[in-house]
Amino acid sequence: MKRVHFYAFVLRGALLLLLVASPRISLAHPSPSSRVTLDLGVHEGALIAEVPLDELQQARAGEPSDEASLSRYFQQHTHPVSKTGHAWTVGRYRIREEAREAGPVVIAEAVLIPPPGEANAPFLLGYDAVCHQVRSHYVQIGLRGDWYAGLLGTEVTPVATLHFSKTEVTIPRGKADFLEGMKRAITLGASHIASGTDHLLFLLVLLLPNFGSLRKGNGAAALKRLAAQLSAFTVGHATTLIFAAKSWISVPTRPVEIAVALSILGTALAVAQATFGRARDAEKGGGPCLRGPAVSRDAAPSNRTGPRYLLPVTGLFGLIHGLAFAEVFSGNAPATMRSLWTLAAFNIGVELQQIVIVAAVAPWLFLLAKSPHYLLFQRFTALTAAGVALVWAVARVGGLSSACVDAPLDALTRHPLLALGLLIGVVGIARRLGPSQVGSSLATPEEPTSSSRASSARPLSP
């Protein structure tokens, strides 16, 4: 009899355990969960909720489903509060529906405005949309962007999971330092230039004619022109990014990539053509041409060697190149990426990286410009860049692979010291070779002495 009572006790305990554990067991196949992503900027933030449509309809059975009603519903179930007890302002939710593989999803996005003086402070987020009615519904909270923590929307950091019995979570703010966001955005802008082979190739092509005109008395003018061209490129680049962040422009990626390739092709051909113009100018003036022995180092450069039109054209190409990165700042990008602070810091990073590249390359190009073979180097480099750009343009128009040029360029981009070493090697070779050793190069004649100039100017006696 005692044994029967014992078995009955064990059976009751097993049944009770099963009843208690049943909700947890059902989580092995949970219902679709919502996802809430936070983007926190300098002065305001954004909350983006992605909710399965069937779960939302189940939670709001019988209620209107128009945008105004859905906006009010999400506002009523979103309660961000600062640690000091001051409530954040939750703006009107914008509602849209998207088709997903698992089923339709409702996306609700609202602006969050913190209390004055608490933009960088941790806060308590209360959110119970859907899960206040559907007990098996779970809400995944993630932090995608936080300016004060140096997060700019490149990835989502999980924060917590909310459900029926847990509807609040503290949102940390990292170091809560304004400079963290600035440093991250500047780094992002610098890496955009450093890792972009098309931008680097365009920058190299811009450098060639400017250093080619570094002759006696016009070095400062050449450097000023180079600085103006780089600034024009950055201004054009920044303008496009601002337009994209404000959703004023939206261009498909493929035409932009084709335009970038064609811009490099056109600039490289113009720079290469300028070397032929230099030779013709020298020939017309009684000096030697490319096939002759020399072109005077002090001769005035051709208008095509340091063309005035390069400044506006460089700004135009900056607009085109900015489109290649505009998707990151488009209307679908995180709020932290679309803020003016991010755009400003990003473009500072672009400009600083360009200065670093020019500072690393300039001394060696300057030494090479002093050699009698610089125009040959300029022509060869410009034509090579034009060939690479042509391959890119054809590949992008036809949807083909451009691995034949991408692989070596990517290797040089990943190993900048190798690229710099190649340039230094070219400089060393050019400095060692004499004009007679490179018959097709542009040689620089010896400058006449003052006595020879005087003798040539003295009239012949009868």
Q: Which amino acid is at 191?
A: S
Same domain as 261, residue 157: no
* Dihedral of the alpha carbons of 396, 398, 400, 405, in degrees to the nearest 10: -50
Same domain as 212, residue 111: no
Same domain as 94, residue 206: no
Same domain as 217, residue 128: no
Same domain as 191, residue 56: no
Q: How many domains does the chain have?
A: 2
Q: Is the residue at 162 inside a domain?
A: yes
- Print burial letters for 267-306: b (CB count within 10 Å at least 16), e (below 16): bbbbbbbbbeebbebbeeeebbbbeeebbebeeebbebbb
Q: Is the residue at 100 inside a domain?
A: yes
Nearest to 203 by CA among 409, 415, 425, 385: 385
What stretch of H or E contains 52? strand 45-52
- Quote the tokens at residue 290: 């490319």
Domain boundary among 145, 176, 207: 176
Nearest to 145 by CA among 174, 117, 121, 106: 174
Same domain as 248, residue 143: no
Q: Is the dihedral of CA 195, 142, 182, 233 positive or negative?
A: positive
Residue 107: predicted pLDDT? 94
Same domain as 213, residue 67: no
Residue 43: predicted pLDDT? 83
Q: Is the residue at 221 inside a domain?
A: yes
This model's pTM is above 0.75: no
Residue 306: predicted pLDDT? 46
Angle of the 403-414 helix axis to the 416-432 helix axis, nearest 10: 90
Q: Which conformational region is residue 371 in: left (phi greater than 0), alpha (psi within -120 to 50 degrees), or beta? A: beta
What stretch of H or E contains 199? helix 197-212
Residue 315: predicted pLDDT? 84
Residue 106: predicted pLDDT? 94
Residue 278: predicted pLDDT? 54
Q: Is the residue at 451 inside a domain?
A: no
Phi, psi (rounded to 5 degrees) for 159: -115, -50
pLDDT in tens, 344-402: 888 888 888 888 888 888 888 887 877 777 888 888 888 888 999 999 889 888 888 88
Per-residue pLDDT of the chain (462 residues; tens, 9 = 90+): 555 555 455 555 555 554 444 443 333 334 458 999 998 888 888 899 999 999 999 999 888 889 999 999 999 999 999 988 999 999 999 999 999 888 899 999 999 999 998 888 889 999 999 999 988 899 999 888 887 777 776 678 888 889 988 999 999 876 656 677 677 778 878 887 777 788 888 888 888 887 766 654 466 777 777 788 888 888 888 888 778 767 677 777 788 888 888 888 988 888 888 777 655 554 454 443 333 333 444 443 444 444 556 677 788 888 887 777 666 665 555 555 666 777 788 888 888 888 888 888 888 888 787 777 788 888 888 888 899 999 988 988 888 888 887 777 777 777 777 777 777 777 777 666 655 444 344 444 444 444 444 444 444 444
Q: Distance between CA 462 and CA 456 in Å, rounded?
A: 16
Same domain as 217, residue 360: yes
Q: What is the CATH number of the domain that holds 107?
A: 2.60.40
DSSP output for 106-151: EEEEEEEEPPTT-TTS-EEEEE-TTTTT-TT--EEEEEEEEGGGTE
3-state class (DSSP) for residue 158: strand
Q: Is the residue at 412 inside a domain?
A: yes
Domain boundary among 176, 210, 234: 176
Burial of residue 383 (number of CB atoms within 10 Å: 0-12, 13-18, 19+) = middle
Tokens 């780089």, located at residue: 230
**Number of CB atoms found within 10 A of residue 168's CB:** 14
Report the 3 state secondary structure along 78-114: EEEEECCCCECEECCCEEEEECCCCCCEEEEEEEEEC
Q: Is the residue at 456 inside a domain?
A: no
Q: Is the residue at 454 inside a domain?
A: no
Please calculate the CA angle 122-175-44 and round it to the nearest 5 degrees: 50
Phi, psi (rounded to 5 degrees) for 39: -125, 115
Is residue 190 within 8 Å of residue 348, measured between CB atoms? no
Q: Is the residue at 185 inside a domain?
A: yes
Same domain as 61, residue 103: yes
* Dihedral of the alpha carbons of 96, 100, 103, 107, in degrees to the nearest 10: -20
Domain assignment of residue 140, given as a range? 31-176
Same domain as 194, residue 140: no
* Dihedral of the alpha carbons of 417, 421, 422, 426, in degrees to the nearest 10: 150
3-state class (DSSP) for residue 249: coil
Is residue 435 within 8 Å of residue 441, measured between CB atoms? yes
Is residue 139 within 8 Å of residue 162, measured between CB atoms? yes
Which of 275-283's residues contact partners 24+ apart within 8 Å by CB, and which partners?
275/212, 275/305, 275/375, 275/376, 275/378, 275/379, 275/382, 276/379, 277/302, 277/303, 277/304, 277/305, 278/212, 278/302, 278/305, 278/375, 278/442, 279/375, 279/442
Q: Distance between CA 244 and CA 342 in Å, rounded?
A: 13
Same domain as 203, residue 92: no
Same domain as 270, residue 146: no
Nearest to 230 by CA among 109, 359, 138: 359
